[in-house]
Amino acid sequence: MMDLHALGQFVVVARLEHLSRAAEELHVAQPSLSRTIARLESELGAPLFDRVGRLRLNEAGKVFLRYVERSLGELDAGRRAVAALTGGESGTVRLASETFLTLTGPLGAFKRAHPSVEVELHQMGAEEMARGLRTQEVDLCVASQPYPPEGLEAVRLLDEEVWVVAPLGHPLAGRSSVTVGELAGESFVATRRGHWQRRLLDRLFAGDGLAPPRIVCEGDEPSATAILVAAGLGIGLIPDMARRSATRAPVAWISVDSPDCRRVLTLLRHADSPPTGAARLMHAALTGWDWSGGPV
């Protein structure tokens, strides 16, 4: 029978594809780690890495890694399920999202209602979230665009308009609405590729047959978009939730004449692993929150 400790070490080596860095992260001697990998390969009857030049995970290694991650994730889920059954309203829930500003209201209410539950927050892109759910690295994810539910259960939390914001005094600032075509040639402040705001912007332009938008500033935190727009760097896309905020930046809000210019906030979990314990409490809190203004 394979050693669980050895499987965990294999995952780290596979992720880093570098023995010395893996040994350093695992706090073990490199020769000992090399012997562990060699024993695994011997048990499997196949090499897991190519060793020509630098260490590379081969096809057999990639296949094995998927099964190991899934198995270790299931074991961890089992440990947490037992802890949830014996611990009542305690334990830990691991929640992932592209941005946490959207979640400040429901998370604050959750902590007041369940002070003994520890909340771990992980900032991830949509593809990372799906992988994290499938490997049991996170319990729940809040995605800001519809995501293919393959193996996942999705609950829609909010469907809201996304606006164009422009600096006060910008030629578009006096308009109540614009078409996507009228945005061509404008300078955009945007998030990096993979974030929902950037994916939406690219999708709107592609849907109208336009060349990709001209990005003059891109970053990781969507909350900075309105601030940078207000400073005059360009225009950007901001969801309606931010428009309702009392602390919103001084910018002009312009409706986009497109039914696709919307944000769909979706709560995701693994379809085969119903939430238990702390994750179940968080799932109920997020689905029971009134996203238009406060708790139901």
Say which residues have a Cβ less than 8 Å from residue 61's Cβ, sequence separation at least 6: 14, 47, 48, 49
Annotated domain spans of the chain: 4-70, 89-151+271-295, 158-263
The reply to whether CATH 3.40.710.10 applies to domain 158-263 is no
Tokens found for residue 37: 């990998």
DSSP the chain: ---HHHHHHHHHHHHH--HHHHHHHHTS-HHHHHHHHHHHHHHHTS-SEE-SSS-EE-HHHHHHHHHHHHHHHHHHHHHHHHHHHHHSS-EEEEEEES-SGGGHHHHHHHHHH-TTEEEEEEE--HHHHHHHHHTTS-SEEEESS----TTEEEEEEEEEEEEEEEETTSTTTT-SEE-SGGGTT-EEEEEPTTSHHHHHHHHHHHHTTPPPPEEEEEES-TTHHHHHHHTTS-BEEEEHHHHT-TT--SEEEEEES-TT-EEEEEEEEETTS---HHHHHHHHHHHTEETTTEE-
pTM of the predicted protein model: 0.66
**Per-residue model confidence (pLDDT) at position 295:** 42
Residue-wise pLDDT tens digits, 254-273: 999 999 999 999 999 988 77
| Domain 4-70, architecture per CATH | Orthogonal Bundle (1.10)
CA 55 to chain centre: 29
**Per-residue model confidence (pLDDT) at position 84:** 58
Cβ–Cβ < 8 Å for 248, 212: no
Tell me the sheet residues that pair with 140: 95
Backbone angles phi, psi at 91, to 5 degrees: 95, -165
Largest CA distance in the chain: 71
Q: What is the CATH number of domain 89-151+271-295?
A: 3.40.190.10
**Per-residue model confidence (pLDDT) at position 94:** 93
Q: Can 89-151+271-295 and 158-263 be said to share one CATH topology?
A: yes
Reading the chain (296 residues) residue by residue, the pLDDT tens digits are 678 888 989 999 999 999 999 989 888 899 999 999 999 999 999 999 998 878 999 999 999 999 998 888 888 777 766 665 555 456 889 999 988 878 889 999 999 999 989 999 998 887 788 888 888 889 999 998 776 667 888 999 999 999 999 999 999 999 999 999 999 999 999 988 888 899 999 999 999 999 999 999 988 777 788 889 999 999 999 999 888 775 577 899 999 999 999 999 999 998 877 777 889 999 999 999 988 764 43
